[in-house]
Amino acid sequence: MAGYRAPDGRSRSPWPADDPSVLTHHPGVDGLVVAYLAFTSGLYWRNGWPSRSHLLLFGLHWVGIFAIAALRRFLLRRPPGTWAGLRFLHAWYPAMILPLVYRELAVLNRIVTDRYYDAWVLQWEARLFGGFPVLTFSQRIPHPWVSEILHFGYVSYYTMIPALGLTLYLSRRYRAFHAYMFTLMATFFFCYLWFIFFPVEGPHYAYPTLEGSLQDGWFRRWALAVLARGAARGAAFPSSHVAAAVVTVLGAYRWDRRVFWVLLPLGTALTLGTVYGRFHYAVDALAGLVVAGLFAVVGPLLYERLGPRPLEAPKPLSNPPSTART
């Protein structure tokens, strides 16, 4: 059976593409999550002994780290094909914890700095675009049906990751699934660390809402409801929504072209919708595209580098001993 192919076309994997043991034996995804949780837990001690709420969050980080280590150790000691529910949980927990990790950013960036850097980003916006597309985009195309299409793209973000991930997982392409999950988490954590040290509020907090009937669309209301429940202040630049969506689209192009053609229009509408709906500055979306392009290339390559190498066959002796009897 053919193994997973690295981006350069050569197989470096000791596992076939449909071998589920890669999900527990490859350290990449668990390592990313543990490293992020450990690093961000240290930020709670930045100003000395943390407050009670910060101490609780610090403790939850380390509960998560030990839980990940215990789960991985447990599964490594069990025969393949057993404990299917726990193996599914182990494969998908990184995506499951993202909403919690995202919400925490608003706490972490206030520990690191007491300011937001919107003024800097707006200067970049003016220089790059000669104005402020976050205001003019919807003003120049004030059509409710355009607004609804782009807001539909924006909320479709929450289906894009499961669409590709479940397609790969349920079709037993475990190594492709794991490489995608590694690339996705690396993309998210890069953006999250940027949000902590360079927080930008974004236009959702700084600018007026859309005008007239553009505000009344069903998908517009849905997007605003999601933001009201799950937004993290200071998490605007670069747009992690754009970065993760485009990484997913590019991952689909690499691993499943049928899913790619479904996700491509959604990713395009999402990228435009973040600016049209005044959720992000245009430069946020542009930076998200750059981050996505970088990690779509580097992520799978790094995943292969981190994985164990297949054992090489022993080389034959140059002068093998004679077996003839004398």
- pLDDT tens figures, 254-302: 999 999 999 999 999 999 999 999 999 999 999 999 999 999 999 999 9
Q: Which of 3, 2, 4 is nearest to 300 (CA)?
A: 4
Does residue 161 fall inside a structural domain? yes
Does residue 141 fall inside a structural domain? yes
- In sequence order, the 6+-apart residues with CB closer than 8 A to the CB of 68 are 30, 33, 34, 93
Its pTM stands at 0.88
- pLDDT tens figures, 52-100: 999 999 999 999 999 999 999 999 999 888 999 999 999 999 999 999 9
d(CA 74, CA 68): 10
Domain hosting 196: range is 22-306
Does residue 180 fall inside a structural domain? yes
Does residue 319 fall inside a structural domain? no
Give the pLDDT band (50/70/90) at residue 112. very high
The confidence score (pLDDT) of residue 310 equals 47
Token pair belonging to 208: 């007026």
Q: Is the pLDDT of residue 303 over 50?
A: yes
Token pair belonging to 79: 């025969």
- List, in sequence order, the alpha helices (H) in the chain: 22-25, 28-43, 52-76, 84-96, 98-112, 118-129, 133-140, 144-155, 157-170, 174-197, 203-206, 218-230, 240-255, 257-276, 282-306
Does residue 12 fall inside a structural domain? no
- pLDDT tens figures, 16-63: 567 888 999 999 999 999 999 999 999 999 877 888 999 999 999 999
CA 102 to chain CA mean position, Å? 11
- In sequence order, the 6+-apart residues with CB closer than 8 A to the CB of 6 are 12, 13, 300, 301, 304
Q: How many CB atoms lie within 10 A of CB 7?
A: 15
Number of domains in the chain: 1
Does residue 252 fall inside a structural domain? yes
